[in-house]
């Protein structure tokens, strides 16, 4: 997610050094001391368009195939409460991310009959796809020391996952637990970790931030212990990052953020797709989606146009997590977009209430590679091109019981 709130998304994920809402605890809990007592609630309509084009394949259904179900609701809530002039606590619940693909079971696949598999579909198992939802719940505390504040926020995760139509990977002895690869009811996982951050007001017009999180160590998806490496393990990756906010003019702030996501340290996400031999899927070092770590840079601008209206825009770019060698598995999770373009506004209804709106668009990106045939290797006559395009619309509401105090650097 390029930010959990409407404000952060309109800035394309920038703003960790310039907190404004209680939801910002999910990025940098140190900002709690700067935002006063408030409640924030946001709801996003997330619309991903995804699919693939394949030719010369011997296992994967050929042709141009699009996933359906293209709209999802993602909520976010936050509350902050000052304790003293220099301390505060808060909590937030945000959608961290996820992935859904749903490919029709009626897709013709000539390979199914050749391999003796009874149904059609992308991988000869009928309707195919995955559904992963991640929600994070934070409870945080921040303390200010002069012009520097520190924050810490233990985090609990809830994940829900299901997979269906992956019959080809539960056949031929490829899995260490073939009964738990596909077509089970949704599996639940809970986990915990820690997020911490620092916010340094260098001068009235300049702020710096550093923040990061541990992995969120999670219980296993038992119903899919034969699919994910480590017997169904799916930890949420650690992150580290920082930001700067500078007021170019009294009414115009520029924000720049950097983030690194450690996908490679979660075996189910980071392990390479190949090789796949009998008994490897679900094994401790079994195949995964082959995602590389990504580096993200975001730049955002916020202009206080008037006492009531604030205009925002932003752009972020991330390196590509999916490589050509891992394209076939990532038909199920084609997270290949690299650019995010955000725009939005905030409007103060009165002294206490405000609304925020954002549009976040990710242009279509393709990644291509060869099909992998378990036990045999890559098919040199094949080409699979996966693609993703996204649009997210978010509406937020914030109620402030008191206006946050002006932060004066104490030297």
Report the pLDDT value the prediction gives residue 403, as an integer from 0 to 100.
Answer: 62
Residue 3: pLDDT band with limits 50, 70, 90: confident
| Residue 16, pLDDT above cutoff 50 | yes
Report the pLDDT value the prediction gives residue 125, as an integer from 0 to 100.
Answer: 87
Report the pLDDT value the prediction gives residue 326, as an integer from 0 to 100.
Answer: 95
Structural domain boundaries in the chain = 6-400
- In DSSP notation, 333-388 reads ------EEEEEEEEEESSSSEEEEEEEEEEEEEEEEE--EETTTEE-TT-EEEEEE
Cβ atoms 358, 6 nearer than 8 A:
yes
For the chain, the average pLDDT equals 93
Neighbours of 68 (CB within 10 A): 12
CA torsion angle 116 126 96 51 (round to 10): 90
Report the pLDDT value the prediction gives residue 141, as an integer from 0 to 100.
Answer: 98
Neighbours of 360 (CB within 10 A): 28
Q: What is the pLDDT of residues 358-383, one digit of tens each?
A: 999 999 999 999 999 988 899 999 99
Q: What is the pLDDT of residues 149-183, one digit of tens each?
A: 999 999 999 999 999 998 888 877 889 999 999 99
Least confident range from 95-104, 218-227, 269-278, 327-336: namely 95-104
In the predicted model, what is the mean pLDDT of residues 277-304? 94
Percent of the chain with pLDDT over 70: 98
**Cis status of the peptide bond prior to 273, with omega within 30 of 0:** no
| Residue 410, pLDDT above cutoff 50 | no
Q: What residues pair up with 39 in beta bridges, in sequence order?
A: 79, 399
Residue 303: pLDDT band with limits 50, 70, 90: very high
CA torsion angle 212 134 321 198 (round to 10): -10
Q: What residues pair up with 257 in beta bridges, in sequence order?
A: 243, 298
Question: How many Cα atoms within 13 Å fall on the side-chain side of residue 406?
Answer: 4
| Residue 409, pLDDT above cutoff 50 | no
d(CA 49, CA 2): 17
In the predicted model, what is the mean pLDDT of residues 9-33? 95
Least confident range from 16-20, 95-99, 190-194: namely 95-99
d(CA 339, CA 296): 10
For residue 114, what are its two tokens?
Answer: 């050749």
Question: How many Cα atoms within 13 Å fall on the side-chain side of residue 5?
Answer: 30
- Token pair 């209804």 in the structure block, residue: 349
Neighbours of 395 (CB within 10 A): 15
In the predicted model, what is the mean pLDDT of residues 244-271? 96
| Residue 253, pLDDT above cutoff 90 | yes
Residue 401: pLDDT band with limits 50, 70, 90: very high
Through-space distance between the first and last CA atoms of the chain, rounded to whole angstroms:
37
Report the pLDDT value the prediction gives residue 308, as an integer from 0 to 100.
Answer: 94
In the predicted model, what is the mean pLDDT of residues 102-117? 86
Query: Measuring CA to CA, which residue among 259, 258, 214 is closest to residue 238?
Result: 214
d(CA 217, CA 120): 37
Report the pLDDT value the prediction gives residue 408, as an integer from 0 to 100.
Answer: 47
d(CA 224, CA 396): 36
| Residue 345, pLDDT above cutoff 60 | yes
| Residue 411, pLDDT above cutoff 80 | no
Q: Class of 6-400 per CATH?
A: mainly beta
Beta-carbon contacts of residue 330 (< 8 Å; ≥ 6 apart): 289, 290, 322, 336, 367, 386
Residue 47: pLDDT band with limits 50, 70, 90: very high
Q: What is the pLDDT of residues 65-108, one digit of tens each?
A: 999 889 999 999 999 999 999 999 999 999 987 788 999 988 99
Least confident range from 4-13, 275-284, 323-332, 399-408: namely 399-408
Report the pLDDT value the prediction gives residue 117, as an integer from 0 to 100.
Answer: 76
d(CA 83, CA 77): 20
């Amino acid at each position: 997610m390029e930010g959990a709130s409407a404000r952060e998304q309109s800035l394309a994920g920038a703003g960790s050094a310039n907190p404004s809402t209680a939801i910002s605890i999910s990025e940098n809990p140190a900002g709690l001391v700067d935002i006063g007592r408030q409640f924030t609630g946001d709801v996003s309509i997330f619309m991903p368009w995804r699919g693939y084009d394949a030719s010369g394949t011997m296992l994967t259904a050929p042709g141009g195939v699009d996933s359906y179900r293209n709209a999802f609701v993602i909520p976010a809530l936050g509350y902050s409460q000052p304790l003293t002039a220099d301390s505060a606590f808060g909590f937030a619940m945000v959608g961290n991310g996820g992935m859904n693909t749903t490919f029709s079971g009626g897709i013709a696949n000539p390979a199914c009959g050749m391999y003796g598999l009874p149904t059609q579909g992308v991988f000869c198992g009928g309707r195919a796809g995955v559904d992963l939802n991640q929600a994070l719940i934070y409870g945080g505390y921040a303390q200010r020391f002069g012009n520097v504040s520190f924050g810490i926020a233990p985090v609990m995760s809830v994940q829900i996952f299901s997979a269906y139509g992956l019959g080809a990977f539960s056949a031929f002895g490829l899995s260490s637990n073939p009964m738990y690869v596909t077509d089970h009811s949704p599996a639940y996982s809970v986990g915990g970790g820690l997020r911490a951050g620092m916010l340094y007001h260098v001068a009235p017009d300049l702020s710096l931030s550093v923040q990061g999180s541990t992995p969120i160590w999670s219980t296993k998806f038992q119903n899919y212990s034969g699919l994910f490496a480590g017997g169904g393990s799916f930890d949420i990756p650690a992150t580290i990052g920082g930001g700067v906010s500078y007021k170019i003019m009294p009414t115009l702030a520029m924000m720049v953020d950097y983030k690194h996501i450690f996908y490679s340290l979660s075996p189910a996400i980071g392990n390479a797709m190949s090789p796949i031999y009998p008994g490897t899927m679900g094994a401790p070092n079994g195949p995964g989606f082959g995602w590389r770590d990504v580096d993200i840079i975001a730049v955002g601008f916020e202009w206080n146009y008037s006492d009531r209206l604030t205009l925002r825009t932003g752009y972020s770019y991330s390196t590509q997590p999916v490589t050509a060698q891992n394209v076939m598995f990532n038909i199920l999770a084609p997270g290949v977009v690299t650019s995010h373009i955000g725009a939005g506004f905030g409007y103060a209804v009165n002294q206490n209430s405000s609304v925020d709106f954002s549009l976040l668009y990710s242009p279509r990106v393709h990644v291509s590679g060869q099909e992998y045939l378990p036990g045999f290797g890559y098919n040199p006559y094949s080409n699979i091109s996966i693609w993703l395009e996204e649009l997210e619309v978010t509406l937020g509401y914030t109620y402030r019981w008191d206006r946050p105090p002006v932060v004066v650097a104490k030297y």
